Amino acid sequence: MATNGTLLITGASGFLGAHLSNYMAIRQRDVRCMVRQTSETSALDLRRVRTFHADLLDPLSLRTAFEEPVHTVVHCAATTSETKVDYAQSFRVNVEGTRNLLEACQSLGIERFIMISTQSANKQNPSTYGRTKLAADQLVQQSSLAFTILKPSTIYGPGPRGLFAKMVRLLDKVPVVPILGSGSRLIRPIHVFDLCEAILECEKAEQTVTKTYDLGGRDLVSYEDFIRSILQARRKKKPLVYVPISVCRALAAAVSVLKNPPFTRDNVLGLNQNQVCSISEARSDFGFSPRGLREGLSQTFSDSDAGTQPKGVAMKEQRRLDVAIIGLGKMGILHGSMLSVIPSARLVGLVDQQEHLGAHVRSMGLDAPFYSSIDQLLGHSPVDAVFVCTPAFTHYPIVRQLVEKKLNFFLEKPLAESLDSARKICDLLTDDKILHAVGYMKGHNPVYRHAHKLITAGLLGNSILFRSTLYLSQVFSPKSGWVYDPKKSGGGIVANSTCHLLFLLYRFFGPLRSVCAQTRRLHSEQVEDAAIAILEFDKGVAGTLDTSWSTPGYPVEQTEIALQGSAGILEVNDSRLRLYLNAKNGEYEKGWTTWHRAELDRAAFDLSPQYGGEAYYNEDLNFIQACQQKISPIISCFDALKVQEMMDALYRSSTEGRVVL
C-alpha cells in the first residue's frame, strides 16, 4: 500500500499521540497533529510536525483537519482511565467523537484509518473506559473505511505524560508500594516505540485492512512483576503491600472527589482483568517484533535509544557519559566506533602505552585526547567509565587502578589470563557502586538472547542434551604474538574464542557441574588448536563441545548449539534460531518455528555484520545505559568469572586426564 502521504494524528498531545507524531516525523512522514486549543503540546517536536486545532466534538472544526489532503488517520484521541471517571464525558469523546471523525473521513474518502483501541475494550470489562472504547471500535467496524483496529496492552515509555509516568512518579514517592489485588493478573506491557512501529508497519500491510490486532510486548508478566521490574530499572528497593480489590474500590471512590485522583475506579476494574493478548497474528501479518520488558524499561529511563527516541520526550534529562578507551588495537578501535554513534556517550580520552598509536587513531578521525598511561588520563580528564581493550594478562593491574579511582569499567573478554587473576579481579569488586561489564558479545546477540528466553521458559522440557560447536579457520601454522602465548592470553582456541560459546552455555544452563575434556595442538607450539569436551550442568543438562581454529571453511567464526529435550528441539547459531515442539505450548505452535536474525536485530548501527556487529553495538549501549541509570550491566565480571572457571576446569581435565567436578 502507498504510505508516503500525510498522516493525521488525533490526540497528538497525549502520551501515545506525541510519541507517534515525533516518531513518524523522524521517519520523514508528513505529520499533521490534531490538538485542542487547550492542549499542552510541549512533548511535540514542533520543528518536525505541524499542529492544528480541532475538536472531535465539533464537526465543523474537523473540516480544518482535512483542508489539506490526508492519506491516513491514526485515531489516538480518547478520554482514558487516567482521568476522573465521567461516563457522559467519556461517551461524548470516545463514542460521539469517533463517530464525528469517521463521518468526516468517509465523506472525504480517506484511504486509511487506524483506530487505537485498548485491551480494556472487551465485553467482560465493565469500566467506563472499556465500554466506551468498545462502542467506538464497533462504529469503526461498521464504517466503509479501510480500517485497522489496534488493541494495545498497557503502554509504557519515556515522557512525563500518561498513566505510566504517573505510576512511576507514585512509585518514586511512596515508601511502600501498594499492589492492587493479588498482583497476579497477567499483562503484556508494550513499549510505546513498539506500538509506533506497529502502526507504521500495519499501515503499509494490505492484509491488515478490516482486521483487529492485539498488541503487547514480548514478555507476558504478572502485574506484580511489572511493578518489580520498574523498581529494579529505577534501582529502588521498596516493600510491596497487597491491597484487596474491595478496599481499592472503596479508596478509589474516596479519592474520586479530588480534581486529579491518583487512581480511579476504572484503574481498579482494569487491574482486575488479565490482558493475555496474543501477538502472533500481528507477528505473521506485519512482522511485529516487540522488545522485552527489561530492555524496554532500560530504554525508557534513558535518553540514549539512538535512532528511535524522539527528542524532548525523555523521562529525565541525562548528562552524556564521559568515556575513555584503554588499548588502541582492533577492539579499542571497534569500541571507539560504537561509542561515536551512541549519543549518550562522549569519548574523552584514549590510552595506549605505544604512543604512535595515538597518532594512528587520530589519523582515522577518532578525535579524543591521547594519553600514554592511565594516570595521565585521570590527571587530565574527568572520566565516568573506561573501556579496557588490552590483552587479558593486563586486566588485573588495570582493574586495580580503576577500582581505586572508583571508575566504572568494561573489560574485553576473557576476564583474565588465569582463574587466579580472574578471582583477584572479582575480589576487588567490593564496592557495588562500581559498575562492570565484560565483552562476551554473543550474550548481546538478539538470536541467542531469544534462544535463552525460550530455554528458560521451559519449552524444551526436562533432561536436555546438547551439541555445541565453534569453528574458525585461523591457525594452520605456528604463530607468534600474545594471543598464542598462554601466559598472556590464557590459552589457545578455548581462551580466545570458545570462551564465547562457554558463556552462552553458562547463560543457558547455569554453572557447570563437571567436565571431561581433551585438547590438542595441531599447529601451534604453546597453545591448543582444538578441544573436545563432555559437559554436565545442573538439572540434567549434558552435552558436547567441539571446537577448533584449524578447520578449513570458516573464515568467519561459526558457533552452533543444538538442544534436544523431552518437549522439543532447539537449534541456534549467530543468524538463525529454530524451535521444534512436540506439542503446542502457549503462543508457540507444534512443529518448526524459525526466527532469523533479521526479525530480531534492532541495533541502530552495525559495523561488522559478518562478526555479529549488532551485538557489539548492543553491549556498548547496555554498558553506557547501565552507568547512566546506575544499574548492573547484563554481563558482569561475576558472570565472566563463571566462564573463567569453566575454562580452567576444561584445561585441568585435559591436563590431568580425568573428569573435573
* CB nearer another protein, residue 52 or residue 611: 611
Q: How many residues bind another protein (CB under 8 A)?
A: 59
Amino acid sitting at position 332: G
Contacts of 382 (CB under 8 A, 6+ apart): 322, 348
Minimum CB separation of residue 592 from another protein in Å reads 15
* CB nearer another protein, residue 20 or residue 357: 357
Among 644, 636, 621, 619, which residue's Cα sits nearest to residue 399?
636
Does 69 contact another protein by CB under 8 A?
no
* Residue 290 DSSP symbol: P
Minimum CB separation of residue 38 from another protein in Å reads 32
Does 144 contact another protein by CB under 8 A?
no
To which H or E segment does residue 159 belong?
Answer: none
* CB nearer another protein, residue 243 or residue 341: 341
* CB nearer another protein, residue 56 or residue 475: 475
Buried b (16+ CB within 10 A) or exposed e, 171-187: eeeeeebbbbbebebbb
Q: According to CB under 8 A, which one of 610, 658, 659, 661 is a site residue for another protein?
A: 610
Q: Is the bond preceding 414 in cis, omega lying within 30 degrees of 0?
A: yes
Does 532 contact another protein by CB under 8 A?
no
End-to-end Cα distance, the chain: 61
Does 487 contact another protein by CB under 8 A?
no
Among 266, 182, 195, which residue's Cα sits nearest to residue 227?
182
Minimum CB separation of residue 70 from another protein in Å reads 19
Cell of 192: 510505546
Q: What is the CA radius of gyration of the chain?
A: 27
Kindly list the distances between the CA atom of residue 651 and the CA atoms of 486, 527, 529, 587, in Å, as whole numbers in the listed order: 12, 11, 13, 42
* CB nearer another protein, residue 183 or residue 486: 486
* CB nearer another protein, residue 29 or residue 191: 29
Does 205 contact another protein by CB under 8 A?
no
Distance of CA 415 to the CA centre of its chain: 25
* CB nearer another protein, residue 382 or residue 481: 481
Among 104, 103, 135, 130, which residue's Cα sits nearest to residue 119?
130
H-type alpha helices, 407-475:
419-428, 446-456
To which H or E segment does residue 409 belong?
Answer: strand 408-411
307-336: contacts with another protein (CB under 8 A): 307-308, 330, 333, 336
One symbol per residue from 402 to 441: x for binding another protein (CB under 8 A), - otherwise; what is it? ----------------------------------------
360-389: contacts with another protein (CB under 8 A): 360, 363-367
How many C-beta atoms lie closer than 10 Å to residue 558's C-beta? 16
Does 47 contact another protein by CB under 8 A?
no
546-605: contacts with another protein (CB under 8 A): 552-558, 560, 573-576, 596-599, 601, 603-605
Q: According to CB under 8 A, which one of 304, 469, 625, 628 is a site residue for another protein?
A: 469
Minimum CB separation of residue 340 from another protein in Å reads 4
How many C-beta atoms lie closer than 10 Å to residue 267's C-beta? 23
Q: According to CB under 8 A, which one of 46, 171, 240, 306 is a site residue for another protein?
A: 306
48-67: contacts with another protein (CB under 8 A): none
CA angle 620, 621, 623 (to 5 degrees): 65
Residue with cell 576444561: 650
**Which three-class secondary structure state does DSSP give residue 467?**
strand
* CB nearer another protein, residue 268 or residue 338: 338
Minimum CB separation of residue 30 from another protein in Å reads 11
* Site for another protein, rule CB under 8 A: 4, 26-29, 200, 287, 306-308, 330, 333, 336-338, 340-341, 356-357, 359-360, 363-367, 469, 471, 473-474, 479, 481, 483, 552-558, 560, 573-576, 596-599, 601, 603-610, 613
